[in-house]
Structure 1
């Protein structure tokens, strides 16, 4: 299995918050990409490397970033033997390729022909999250059908559905629907879906097919990684593994909340 961390965003909302913060307590974070922000005693992305390093079945970690932050990630990656950093060649948010195109860039560049764990570089889960248990569930699903993939979900509040991608499932925990930021009246589900997907080796080639189908569509349809899941679940079986919750560092308040949590833990 390969792990692929999406880190090509520009942190537009967070940088806006940092520039307008009157306290001055966070000005030193300006210019630091979100995955490299200090969380607890290490950069956010290093929490993932600490977790992944304990998993023998994951042999390589690919980090896709942009040209603006490439040197910073290359410097960070020097302490890890199994990390490869890929530059998507863009220099601004307006130039961005979109998350799904970044996935395909890595798949093509490194000729990936394996199961792929995809995760957002600005996301962390609560301390009780156990990657070994998640991978054991994926292995169980693979023993049933090589086409099976696995995604995570956690329960959100009624008023939060409009912030997240929401999964609908059946009694077997198979995905039967996916709604991007719906109102609470559009779906009875409260299963939010973080950027964490384990796609089977048989499913990975469909990313290129998705991009081909969406070639003339607006960038937004090729950007959010949940859009591939929306396209996929009716073509290949996707199942859900429940977790307790996550931190998604999108702005300054969410960064402060995440940082405080991991300082205590």
Structure 2
């Protein structure tokens, strides 16, 4: 998600701060890894999802490699928890542009959730700029390009400095009850977000993200849509690494890619 700054749009290059949400505990994936028969998977138990090897690099490194060389990226904040804080600090030694933040929780039951983690970073560092919010366990299909998204965002800002942009993709009919479904107008402006609707509640099949009670970015988006202009940028699909099956699919997709850290450009 890209969120507009409170100040007026500047005609010079838009400066953007990045928040990567990586404070989840991956309980479903951990259970799968512990029960796996193959050593290549059991040895990954205890590795936070954003640091899982995808192809040749940790998942989160795809994003950082794409972002760090951009002139419009000022800071990259990674929010994690007490359990995985040291692992992320060790990983970030290779990335001076990354600042790792500990949300202070130690168990899945204590987790703050995505919206609260985002708020933690914004308040602690007094951020009042444009912000990219990225799920640390998410990658998109190879036809996604960060530059396309940022160019679309800048175009939106020229018309309204309060504009926001979220990424969406089409989901299958049987998946509708699992996601927040976006309804849009002819200009791809979001008019409503329906949480886990039935197929008869909406004709839209544009999925935002899975909704859960505590980790609910969709609730924030529902709140935002009625207060600020929010547009969507359709994609062909994404990988959301939540269990062993989804991890294997993501890893298989990227393992033979060339120049993989730069594919997001």
Return the TM-score normalized by structure 2: 0.88
Question: 2:254: which partner in 1?
Answer: 262
Q: Residue by residue, what CA displacement relative to the aligned partner does 1:181-224 show, whole Å, maximum 9, x if unpaired?
A: 222222211001249xxxxxxxxxxxxxxxxxxxxxxxx65522
> 1:38-49 maps to which residues of 2 (within 5 A)?
38-49=53-64
**Shift of residue 253, structure 1, vs aligned partner:** 0.1
Matched, 1:160 2:146: no
Distance in 1 (CA, whole Å) between partners of 2:19 and 2:55 is 23
Question: 1:232: which partner in 2?
Answer: 224
2:20–2:135 CA contact under 8 A, matched in 1: yes
1:100–1:222 CA contact under 8 A, matched in 2: no
Distance in 1 (CA, whole Å) between partners of 2:82 and 2:200 is 41
Matched, 1:188 2:180: no
Return the TM-score normalized by structure 1: 0.88
3-state SS of 1:29 partner: coil
3-state SS of 1:112 partner: coil
1:221–1:227 CA contact under 8 A, matched in 2: no
Distance in 2 (CA, whole Å) between partners of 1:112 and 1:126 is 30
**Shift of residue 264, structure 1, vs aligned partner:** 2.8
3-state SS of 2:219 partner: helix
Question: 1:214: which partner in 2?
Answer: none
Matched, 1:223 2:215: yes
3-state SS of 1:26 partner: helix
Matched, 1:28 2:20: no
Distance in 2 (CA, whole Å) between partners of 1:131 and 1:249 is 20
3-state SS of 1:81 partner: coil
Question: 2:111: which partner in 1?
Answer: 96
> 1:112-151 maps to which residues of 2 (within 5 A)?
112-151=127-166
**Shift of residue 155, structure 1, vs aligned partner:** 1.1
Root-mean-square deviation (CA), in Å? 1.3
Query: What are structure 2's unaligned runs of at least 5 residues?
Result: 1-15, 258-265
